[in-house]
Structure 1
């Protein structure tokens, strides 16, 4: 696929107006306050794995509504004192997977907390967290579940789970609660943006080809799912455009980026039809943290830089966690 979006020079200055409604901050403050009325109840069960370099824990904690959310905690084997942590969020339709797929950060000497995504985990990697909340009519997938009202929207639950995942990671005695970074690719990158805007004391955030940004542009620019789910919903529900995009404004990565307080490392791929590069740059260009960086992969689709980006993160994140 050749380049289809704005030129790179245009991307570097593309900064659409934020869409945050007047009650954006109040909405999220109330959401998180209600979630914290439930005991976090973070439990870490040792897992018998055939590894000598890491220790693995099966994690359960209370997310949105007090619902149990699963995760993995992977630690360098035999550590005695607290170490910095990287909290990771998973791409669309995937789950936490199996422990042996999450060894990179522990091998670098960090605690690695991987959050399962409620209701997902049957596409690419297995998940173990149900979403017990239903919704009104929606298109197959997750993008339009509860899209009629921000209080009912699916990602309200996911973003809340993600903030609580940081709290759960910090609850483990071998995690240095003062040195935590967040990261993830695609949907995981979008969740990373949300957490960076909702948790004020992170050391770093690294959203990789992030999804869930600049919704109106994305829904009218690409034919590829998951953004296409929004267009298909509106194709059937004619006349609901403004309500749908109002709901999505509470979950737009642009609006969270504008509230970030940590350094941020982004990546974008210029042939990415899943998360068009202009939507990624929109969040990057709104980033309010003290530092922002962008890695650009000129001839890549949604795979982005893959292991090359992982190598960049393995140099960049430790510099902020160890500093």
Structure 2
């Protein structure tokens, strides 16, 4: 199927050309945006994550894969996977986020972007096979609204903290990463892309990152655009609760991206029914440090060129991290 044959009752390109997408700015930040996130980061760094590794579950693509669990903010115990090289030393480390479909296994995150790497693949709270928790909805359209009435209770803030705690757990489990001083790489797609943009400005442990079709970009514009993803649930909520616009500016991935100064590679789509492209490009446009753009014809949509584009992105991702992570 081509992207021109989509069947949606709206235009997933939202009538914008590439040049128009590249001109979209980030929204202005609330006055205490930086202080809010810095305080949350410091709280997450104080957590004793006490990671635990289970038996080896599989070996493939040059990596041994184990179950892992760790503690995040609020004392919540979360799960995921740990990938280690099948042979040789660990020289690079990654935290790998996931989309709103949750993470049921390691999927195409393995092989990792670089050989000789270790990675933690956490399931953020409420989502995926290993972090479903009572009281936190597991479906995307409900999860994205959980605690949204206040910036202090919104689940997205805690999910960002889950990534910081995952990084802490990885560095405890693979101490040679901290000794090397190489810095971590971050990889995230969709939800994981938006969470990564929110997480990276405050955490000096990350040396670079790669975001694919990141969500939560330009919240005011995002809520004017119809879609089929979690953003549609927020659009519906806002119609009955306009006061939510006092909360969402603190969770704008484009605003946060304007604080990211490490090298970043962003794969943004021209057509995406789930994460509107204007929000994706707003994230890329806002980046304050060295940045690269990888343009996809479509995101969250199966199409004829999909496999080829995925392979091309994997090649770009490998090159990017080989250039920007020490010891690569």
**Given the two structures, how large is their TM-score scaled by the length of structure 2?**
0.85
Q: What residue in structure 1 maps to residue 124 of structure 2?
A: 117
Contact 1:76/1:106, CA 8 A, preserved across alignment: no
Tell me the C-alpha RMSD between the 2 structures: 2.4
Contact 1:5/1:278, CA 8 A, preserved across alignment: no
Q: CA offset at residue 159 of structure 1?
A: 0.5
Contact 1:90/1:184, CA 8 A, preserved across alignment: yes
Change (3 A) 1:98 1:186: same
Q: 2:317 aligns with which of 310, 313, 317?
A: 313
Provide the rounded CA distance (Å) in 1 between the counterparts of 2:204 and 2:74. 22
Question: 1:79-99, CA deviations, whole angstroms, 9 ceiling, x for partnerless residues?
Answer: 3x441112100000312x224
**1:98 corresponds to 2:108:** no
Provide the rounded CA distance (Å) in 1 between the counterparts of 2:26 and 2:259. 15
Q: How does 1:244-283 map to 2 (within 5 A)?
A: 244-283=244-283
Provide the rounded CA distance (Å) in 2 between the counterparts of 1:301 and 1:37. 37
Q: How many residues in Structure 1 have an aligned counterpart in Structure 2?
A: 307
Change (3 A) 1:262 1:218: same
Change (3 A) 1:203 1:31: closer
Q: How does 1:74-223 map to 2 (within 5 A)?
A: 74-79=83-88, 81-95=89-103, 97-99=104-106, 101-105=108-112, 108-121=115-128, 127-132=129-134, 140-173=141-174, 175-177=176-178, 178=181, 179-223=183-227
Contact 2:45/2:168, CA 8 A, preserved across alignment: no
Provide the rounded CA distance (Å) in 2 between the counterparts of 1:261 and 1:52. 32
Provide the rounded CA distance (Å) in 2 between the counterparts of 1:211 and 1:71. 22
Provide the rounded CA distance (Å) in 2 between the counterparts of 1:223 and 1:313. 28
Higher relative contact order (CA 8 A, sep 6+): 2
Unmatched segments (≥5 aa) in structure 2: 5-12
Change (3 A) 1:72 1:13: same
Q: CA offset at residue 175 of structure 1?
A: 4.8
Change (3 A) 1:274 1:110: same
Q: What residue in structure 2 maps to residue 124 of structure 1?
A: none
Contact 2:272/2:299, CA 8 A, preserved across alignment: yes
Task: Give the 3-state SS of the residue equivalent to 1:244 in structure 2.
Answer: helix
Q: CA offset at residue 173 of structure 1?
A: 2.9
Task: Give the 3-state SS of the residue equivalent to 1:119 in structure 2.
Answer: coil
Task: Give the 3-state SS of the residue equivalent to 2:206 in structure 1.
Answer: coil
Provide the rounded CA distance (Å) in 2 between the counterparts of 1:228 and 1:157. 21
Change (3 A) 1:107 1:286: closer
Provide the rounded CA distance (Å) in 1 between the counterparts of 2:252 and 2:83. 30
